[in-house]
Structure 1
Amino acid sequence: MQLGLDDEEFIRGRVPMTKQEIRILTLAKARITPEDIIYDIGAGTGSLSIEAARLAEKGHVYALERRQEAAQLIEANREHFSVSNLSIIMTEAPAELEELPLADVILIGGSGGHLTEIFEAAGEKLRSGGRIVLNCITVQTLSAALQYLHDHEDRYRYDAVEVQVSRLRRVGPYDMAQAQNPICIITCVKEA
């Protein structure tokens, strides 16, 4: 299965999308297997959901999204990529997590300011040895995540990497690096 679909392949709107390079790293950190059950919390356009569903071909992905426009984009991308093992749940997490089956992997792309509550609910739904992969765009999200993990070091072991991607852009006869937003990817493994 091809990993790292081109950004241009996705149907886009005004909803933020996890870009190809970050998707590849996030999915590598998630270590998705074909049978995994995955939640994608704050799924946005569904780019991670689509790629996760393609990797977990015998498993299932639950894309949780609170914004109607984003949920419609996820639906459009699900149809565009002919992905059948992806369910879209219109909700503001952590609501409705308790209704889902136990997860092997939980991706968190957006928390709507409810990161602590999401971590608490996700911890109850994550299998032992399961992984949470959190993409932090803001310093506040990074700070809140690290504080939670420090306070719960008996529950998770984690690592974090900050990624800065630049893409070359033509400027006349020259090529110039155009920096993308830095992202901190935190990978948490639930202890037995």
Structure 2
Amino acid sequence: MTPGIPDEYFVRGNVPMTKEEIRILSISKLRLKEDSVIWDIGAGTGSVSVEAALISKRGVVYSIEKEEEGIKLINENIKKFNVENIVVVAGLAPDVLLDLPSPDRIFIGGAGDKMYQTFKTALTKLKRDGIIVVNGITLDTAYSAHRYFKQNKYKVETICVNISVSKEAGNKTMMIARNPVYIITAEKEG
């Protein structure tokens, strides 16, 4: 299966999911290796975890989720896509991160009210030459993440992605805009 699994292939519920186009851009920014150790914080349905696990076949993905429904959906998607290198971690970041193995790559799809504490733990545990990618839908998240990583001597890039998807409107086709998403990538300098 190629990167960019269509959204409709995933088992979904009432838990947020990183959409296909944003997911593939975020995964691209992670620069995954075949043996990467990855944290997916705020994993939701596990869509990023599944795609990352398929790329990093000899690595492991720690799929961190606090919502019971999300944990159920992640497990269903693990079965559906037959990936065995995902470890589901039930709980709230940053608390559950402390006992996990140090990652090469971190994806943060949601950190809630503990964003700064999660960033701090991530920087403490991230291996040398590691990469962190944060997705945010608010200016506040984008600004806070960009500033935090820059203050901590990381090379930071923020992009804003605006996606529109076609929809049939009678015998015409129109474009329907989705919410803009900020993708913040942080790499340790030097």
TM-score between both structures, scaled by the size of structure 2: 0.97
> 2:156 touches 2:186 (CA, 8 Å); kept in 1?
yes
Structure 2 counterpart of 1:92: 92
* Between 94-103 and 34-43, the greater mean CA deviation after superposition: 94-103
Structure 1 counterpart of 2:145: 145
CA 1:98–1:191 in 2, change beyond 3 Å: closer, same or farther? farther
> 2:146 touches 2:157 (CA, 8 Å); kept in 1?
no
**For 1:168 and 1:71, how far apart are their aligned partners in 2?**
32
Structure 2 counterpart of 1:163: 161
> 1:43 touches 1:49 (CA, 8 Å); kept in 2?
yes
Structure 2 counterpart of 1:16: 16
Structure 2 counterpart of 1:179: 177
**For 1:19 and 1:80, how far apart are their aligned partners in 2?**
18
**Amino acid in the other structure paired with 1:186:** I
How many residues align? The count is 190
**Amino acid in the other structure paired with 2:164:** S
> 2:134 touches 2:183 (CA, 8 Å); kept in 1?
yes
**Amino acid in the other structure paired with 2:65:** E
Summarize deviations over 1:86-110 as a string: whole Å, max 9, x none: 0111111001212111111000000
Give 1:130 deviation, angstroms.
Answer: 0.4
Structure 1 counterpart of 2:77: 77
Stretches of 4+ aligned residues off by more than 2 angstroms: none
Q: Secondary structure at the match of 1:4?
A: coil
TM-score between both structures, scaled by the size of structure 1: 0.96
> 1:128 touches 1:191 (CA, 8 Å); kept in 2?
no
Give 1:144 deviation, angstroms.
Answer: 1.6
> 1:126 touches 1:190 (CA, 8 Å); kept in 2?
no
**Amino acid in the other structure paired with 1:24:** I
**Amino acid in the other structure paired with 1:77:** N
Superposition map of 1:25-44 within 5 A? 25-44=25-44
**Amino acid in the other structure paired with 2:109:** G
> 1:32 touches 1:105 (CA, 8 Å); kept in 2?
yes
Question: Quick one: percent identity of the two aligned structures?
Answer: 42
Structure 2 counterpart of 1:57: 57
Structure 1 counterpart of 2:122: 122
> 2:36 touches 2:59 (CA, 8 Å); kept in 1?
yes
**For 1:190 and 1:158, how far apart are their aligned partners in 2?**
9
Gaps of 5+ in 1: none
Q: Secondary structure at the match of 2:105?
A: strand
Give 1:190 deviation, angstroms.
Answer: 1.9
RMSD: 1.0
**For 2:4 and 2:55, how far apart are their aligned partners in 1?**
11
**For 1:2 and 1:103, how far apart are their aligned partners in 2?**
24
**Amino acid in the other structure paired with 2:173:** D
**For 1:184 and 1:106, how far apart are their aligned partners in 2?**
16
Summarize deviations over 1:38-80 as a string: whole Å, max 9, x none: 0000000000000000011000000101110111100100011
**For 2:14 and 2:138, how far apart are their aligned partners in 1?**
19
> 1:35 touches 1:59 (CA, 8 Å); kept in 2?
yes
